[in-house]
Amino acid sequence: MLNHPLVRALVLGAMAASGSAWAVGPQKGLVPGFLDAKTGSFIAATQPAVATGVESPLATLGGTLALRFNITLKSSVPSDWKIQCSQVATAIDSGGLTFQNSKTVLATRSGSTATCQVNINYSWSLNGAGGFIHTNWTVMTLDSTLTNTLVDVLATGSMPSIEIPANGTVTSRTVSVTL
């Protein structure tokens, strides 16, 4: 159907009239981007810098992302089952570099509550000042042998994004979870 001459002409005409996702750039190549629906203008997508032989200095920032889990158990989770907590931190700097760190630990359980502390120590070489960290988390129960891949109860979520903190900062946050 897309090979029909009328369909091709309509699609190409619509793309030309509306500013398609690709436009011809100065090097006569394709430039990725999108059409801004509000302004009707073509916005070129940000491209990573091309290596020129002169590398810009990278700033290395390190610290700790400390995420405490306060868990309330309302499901019938057997007392010998383990509770696992995970944190995944994704940093995107102002230059477009992306870093991802993750860590998983077992919780300490006491009756109908449990806690765990997931600390991610990081060191990232950033390509610009500023950027953000996005944090996702998971809490789940596992059978007592830790070999069964069946999960009885699972909770996932994310934390509000934060600016990449100053070097050496310990960023502490808490999430309350009910399983």
Using the structure block, give the residue that is written with the tokens 């860590």: 103
Tens digit of each residue's pLDDT (9 = 90 or more) over 114-160: 999 999 999 998 887 678 999 999 999 888 776 665 667 889 999 99
Measured between alpha carbons, how far is 84 from 73 in angstroms, rounded to an integer? 13
For the chain, strand residue ranges (E) read 22-24, 30-35, 42-44, 59-72, 82-93, 98-106, 108-110, 113-126, 131-142, 154-163, 170-178
Of residues 25 and 51, the one with the higher pLDDT is 51
Tens digit of each residue's pLDDT (9 = 90 or more) over 68-86: 999 999 888 888 888 999 9
- Backbone φ and ψ for 10, nearest 5 degrees, come out as -65, -45
Q: Counting beta carbons within 10 angstroms of the beta carbon of residue 31, is it exposed (0 to 12), middle (13 to 18) or buried (19 or more)?
A: middle
Question: CA distances (Å), 149 to each of 81, 141, 145, in order?
Answer: 13, 10, 10
pTM assigned to the model: 0.65
* Mean of all residue pLDDT scores within the chain: 77
Domains, the chain, ordered by start: 5-44 (no CATH), 59-178 (2.60.40)
* Averaged pLDDT, 155-173: 94
Q: Residue 95: its pLDDT value, please? A: 81
In the chain the first and final C-alpha atoms are separated, in Å, by: 51
Measured between alpha carbons, how far is 111 from 89 in angstroms, rounded to an integer? 30
Q: What is the DSSP letter of 41?
A: -
Which contiguous run of DSSP H or E holds residue 11?
Answer: helix 5-18
Please give the share of the chain, as a percent, with pLDDT higher than 70. Answer: 64
pLDDT at residue 58 is higher than 50: yes
Radius of gyration of the chain (CA): 24
Q: Which residues pair with 71 in a beta bridge?
A: 114, 177
